[in-house]
């Protein structure tokens, strides 16, 4: 029985050694090179959003680590960022001392130099340090480029739809406040009603479930 256990331990050790030999030289290491690939839809304006929650650098004063969450949003032109190279690029800052403002703008400059995007926005939200939270935002816009509000001959873009929706909500909220001048049946104020006392017509026709029904006594 002890001989069998020794054989199993030896076989397990050989297996671990072979695994270490196979993975030797293939582990990822931090590097500063950023790689790209061609934009598959260069004729369209669309945004790419990347969240990097494990960014780390060193404080240039104390040498202690600083932690931050990076939020990258950009509209590509001809190329897009390759994610593995971006991950290794971010790792290269973990042993580098830099101020929050400097490192944020440096990353943004490196991305702009490689991507040449139509628009880029990098937000670095650092963790608390000495009771203070720091958030640095760096933006870049390609000269002569402006986002189109609507597609030609088509429906509005998503950003326009959201803007119209928020405008609709804010313009409808004041109409729900009590005027204090008129009262409906029962002495209750008429909120959001016109001069005839009727409620404002909604954008869509309400369904049967949204009407008020009175049950007739049996």
Q: Report the catalytic residues.
A: 59, 66
Q: DSSP labels for 77-121?
A: SSEEE-HHHHHHHHHTTTT-B--HHHHHHHHHHHHHHHH--SEEE
CB of 60 within 8 A of CB of 98?
A: yes
CA–CA distances in Å: residue 28 to residues 6, 31, 97, 211: 35, 9, 22, 63
Q: In what order do the strands lie in the sheet with 132-141?
A: 48-58, 65-75, 119-129, 132-141
Report the distance separating Cα 83 and Cα 97, nearest Å. Answer: 24
Q: Which residues pair with 81 in a beta bridge?
A: 36
CB of 119 within 8 A of CB of 127?
A: no
> What letter would DSSP give residue 33?
-
């Amino acid at each position: 029985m002890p001989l069998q256990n020794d054989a199993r331990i030896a076989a397990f050790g050989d297996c671990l050694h072979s695994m270490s030999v196979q993975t030797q030289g293939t582990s990822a290491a931090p590097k500063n090179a950023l790689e790209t690939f061609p934009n598959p839809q260069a004729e369209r304006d669309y945004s790419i959003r990347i969240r990097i929650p494990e960014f780390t650098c060193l404080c240039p004063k104390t040498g202690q680590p600083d932690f931050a969450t990076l939020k990258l949003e950009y509209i590509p032109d001809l190329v897009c960022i390759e994610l593995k190279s971006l991950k290794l690029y971010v790792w290269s800052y973990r042993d580098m001392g830099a101020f929050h403002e400097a490192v944020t703008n440096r990353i943004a400059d490196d991305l702009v130099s490689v991507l040449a995007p139509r628009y880029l926005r990098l937000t670095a939200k650092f963790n608390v340090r000495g009771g203070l939270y720091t958030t640095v935002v760096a933006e870049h816009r390609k000269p002569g480029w402006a986002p189109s509000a609507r597609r030609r001959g088509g429906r509005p873009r998503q950003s326009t739809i959201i803007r119209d929706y928020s405008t609709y909500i804010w313009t409808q909220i004041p109409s729900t406040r009590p005027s204090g001048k008129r009262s409906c049946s029962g002495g209750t104020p008429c909120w959001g009603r016109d001069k005839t006392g009727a409620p404002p017509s909604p954008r869509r026709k309400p369904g049967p479930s949204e009407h008020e029904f009175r049950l007739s006594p049996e």
